Amino acid sequence: MKIATWNVNSLRTRLDHVTQWLTENPVDVLCLQETKVVDKDFPRSPLEDLGYHLYFSGQKSYNGVAILSRSPLESLSIGFSPVVGESIGDLDEQKRVISGALGDLRIVNLYVPNGSEVGSDKYQYKLRWLSVLRDYLQELLTETPHVLVCGDFNIAPEDRDIHNPVGRANHIMASIAEREALEKSVLSIGFIDIFRQFNPDPGQFSWWDYRAAAFVKNMGWRIDHHYLSANLVEKAIACTIDKTPRSWEKPSDHVPVVVELS
């Protein structure tokens, strides 16, 4: 079974890329972020025609997440509050969390806040959001030991995940507090960054800035991830980054990351 994650930076703008990629890579599940489309305008037919069931949570202009699955998902859950309760303030207003189950496997699709600049209000929001993510994932782990958490994390976990780590301690997506939050909310409760189980090398990225010809110079960041719960790691066969769509015309700035499970 193959599961992919891809921040498409507007699903409607990238619809041809998504359908082309799915035609060439007929994964079982595709988790999308930054769909930027309200639910009533979600482009259903082109994706259903490829054989996918669609699950989505969108809003106008920003954010938005979706799961495309060849088999129907069970126990669909949108946002943090169905899992952690209503005491999370404004953290479900932005549509960043969707989850569903395939048998005993729970799949969680996340679009972690960007954070803008270190120390900004959006940065504090990102850290608050990650704090609630810990409660959310811990609760899910009590329900099933087989949890896959994927998405755009907007955090490069280590310096080898950045083309040039100089100044990263105060850089958004690599600051000390962000990495500590990722450690506390995901890694410390047993999740494994499965890409690094197969690929230890530097220079492997999932996002390249649109500016300064970053892609052709491979000046990227690895910020899109698949985390597997400890009980799922032994089922992992491969995890790969597909850079191909970044070279297509008018691409997303992110590319798909695919994990294969037995």
Round to whole Å and give the CA distance between 17 and 37: 16
Tell me if 34 is assigned to a ligand binding site: yes
Q: Is 217 in the site for DNA (CB under 7 A)?
A: no
Q: How many CB atoms lie within 10 A of CB 90?
A: 9
Q: Is 40 in the site for DNA (CB under 7 A)?
A: no
Q: Is 227 in the site for DNA (CB under 7 A)?
A: no
Q: Is 161 in the site for DNA (CB under 7 A)?
A: no
Shortest Cβ 115–DNA spacing (Å): 7
DSSP state of 12: T
Question: Stretches 23-31, 97-105, 136-144, 208-216: which one binds DNA (CB under 7 A)?
Answer: 208-216
Token pair 């907007």 is found at 154
* Helix-then-strand count for the chain, H and E: 6, 14
Find, among 29, 94, 1, the residue nearest to 256 by Cα: 29
Q: 261 has which bridge partners? A: 236
Q: Report 74-93 residues binding DNA (CB under 7 A).
A: none
Spot the catalytic one: 52, 92, 152, 227: 152
Q: Report 1-20 residues binding DNA (CB under 7 A).
A: 7, 9-10, 12-13
254 is catalytic: yes
Site string for DNA, 107-146 (x = CB under 7 A): ------xx-xx----x------------------------
Cβ atoms 31, 150 nearer than 8 A: yes
Find, among 151, 104, 102, the residue nearest to 130 by Cα: 151
DSSP structure string for 82-108:
HHH-STTTTTTTS--EEEEEETTEEEE
Q: How many CA atoms lie within 13 A of 107 on its CB side?
A: 29
- Residue from 201, 211, 234, 262 that binds DNA (CB under 7 A)? 211
Spot the catalytic one: 17, 146, 225, 254: 254
Q: Which amino acid is at 58?
A: G
Active site residues: 111, 152, 254
Known binding residues for Mg(2+) are: 7, 34, 152, 154, 253-254
- Which positions touch DNA (CB under 7 A)? 7, 9-10, 12-13, 34, 36, 60-63, 113-114, 116-117, 122, 152, 154, 172-173, 207, 209-212, 221, 223, 250, 253-254
